[in-house]
Structure 1
Amino acid sequence: MKQIGMMVMALLLTVTFTYAQDNKQSPKATVDGKVIDVTYNQPSLRGRAFGKELAPYGKVWRTGADAATTVVFAKDVKFGGKDVKAGTYTLYTIPTEKEWTVILNKQNGQWGTVYDEKQDLLRVTAPVKKASSPTEKFTIKVDDKANASDLVMMWADATVSVPVTY
């Protein structure tokens, strides 16, 4: 009888774990560009206010959910006009209503908002453009062009773009 109880408990734990993995509120997303790859988790607004409850204005934000967002450059680039060597970086932002400070940080593998400003490689400022329609899930995309790309971040009614040339 004890073995049956333990088997039922193991089955319940397995089902619960599987359900939790398949129904994350902030699913992982990957963006693959010609030169830029981004891995991040997509938080949703779900009735909450961007800039207040989510990614508060004026504070460092991990630019996604859960693990910190990573950006991989396959070759040397100019990110917002500043030189960046090929490699893996963590993306942070400081959003405000009018502009975002976009940060590439040298530290990798952080969870959440474990942020060390001393590890910043660079900061660039990008203006906020009002989106034509609101975005429920935070979304990052890479718009590839001939010898350049735009790293675009969209959430709520905000769209922010950083030019990347190579």
Structure 2
Amino acid sequence: MKIIVITYRSFIIKRNTMKNTLAIFLTLTFFAIQLNIQAQEFPNIDASPMDLAIARANKNSPPIARVIYSRPQKKGRDIFGELVPYNEVWRTGANEATELTIYTPLLLGKTVLKPGTYTLFTIPNKDKWTIIINSATDIWGAFNYKKEMDVARIKVSCMQAVAPIETLSMIFRPENDGTTLLIGWDDHYVEIPFKTLP
């Protein structure tokens, strides 16, 4: 019969070895998790990032309208008549067609726009643009544009910008009787008047 004698010293050594093994295992696991987290890659910013503009009567009032659009850049290119052809329906931006949300009834030309979400298309020309408010939503580009879904159409003058506008820009300007949406790019801009109802 064999008798196994475990000395105090051998017990301490085995215990320390187990602690060291556990510590090494936990350290390696931690670094593996960290590497996995750091390895997650997010896409670069879109070439035509999305932006929005909101119309309010004043800073603390509820919104009147909102536009969500993608902002292509000029990058030395000729825009109107070239990149954006004249006399063709344009998504008024890049990627998805520009989305216009109306929060209170607004008058555009002679048409009353009810609260809701619409698509804003345009037909640029040298002197005038046709502004189109269309009831179709969630559209990529102007490829699926259908004229029969138009809610309103007006023509506005195309004006010369004081300085070139590198990135397509939209902003609402408050008015006493509503708001005006300004759309500018390259060396041109247009103003779209929306009137609030009395």
TM-score normalised per structure 1: 0.86
Secondary structure of the residue that 2:69 maps to in structure 1?
strand
Secondary structure of the residue that 1:92 maps to in structure 2?
strand
Kept after mapping to 2: 8 A contact 1:94/1:101: yes
Query: Could you say what the CA RMSD is over the residues aligned between the two structures, in angstroms?
Result: 1.8
Q: How does 1:4-43 map to 2 (within 5 A)?
A: 11=39, 14-15=40-41, 18-20=42-44, 23-34=45-56, 35-43=64-72
Inter-partner Cα distance in structure 2 for 1:81 and 1:158: 25
Inter-partner Cα distance in structure 2 for 1:140 and 1:154: 7
Inter-partner Cα distance in structure 2 for 1:118 and 1:144: 31
Q: Report the equivalent of 2:94.
A: 65
Q: Report the equivalent of 1:126.
A: 156
- Residue identity opposite 2:82 in structure 1: E
The percent identity for this pair of structures is: 30
Q: Report the equivalent of 1:48.
A: 77
Q: Report the equivalent of 1:78.
A: 107
Inter-partner Cα distance in structure 1 for 2:53 and 2:109: 19
User: In the TM superposition, what is the alpha-carbon distance from 1:148 to its structure 2 partner?
Assistant: 1.1
Of residues 184, 187, 193, the one that matches 1:154 is 184
Secondary structure of the residue that 2:43 maps to in structure 1?
helix
Inter-partner Cα distance in structure 2 for 1:90 and 1:115: 10
Inter-partner Cα distance in structure 2 for 1:153 and 1:39: 12
Out of 51-60 and 26-35, give the one that drifted further.
51-60
Q: Report the structure number with the largest CA radius of gyration.
A: 2
Inter-partner Cα distance in structure 2 for 1:80 and 1:135: 27
Moved over 4 A (4+): none
Kept after mapping to 2: 8 A contact 1:80/1:162: no
Inter-partner Cα distance in structure 2 for 1:81 and 1:161: 16
Tell me if 1:100 matches 2:100.
no
User: In the TM superposition, what is the alpha-carbon distance from 1:80 to its structure 2 partner?
Assistant: 3.1
Kept after mapping to 2: 8 A contact 1:27/1:42: yes
Inter-partner Cα distance in structure 2 for 1:81 and 1:119: 17
User: In the TM superposition, what is the alpha-carbon distance from 1:126 to its structure 2 partner?
Assistant: 0.3
Tell me if 1:88 matches 2:110.
no
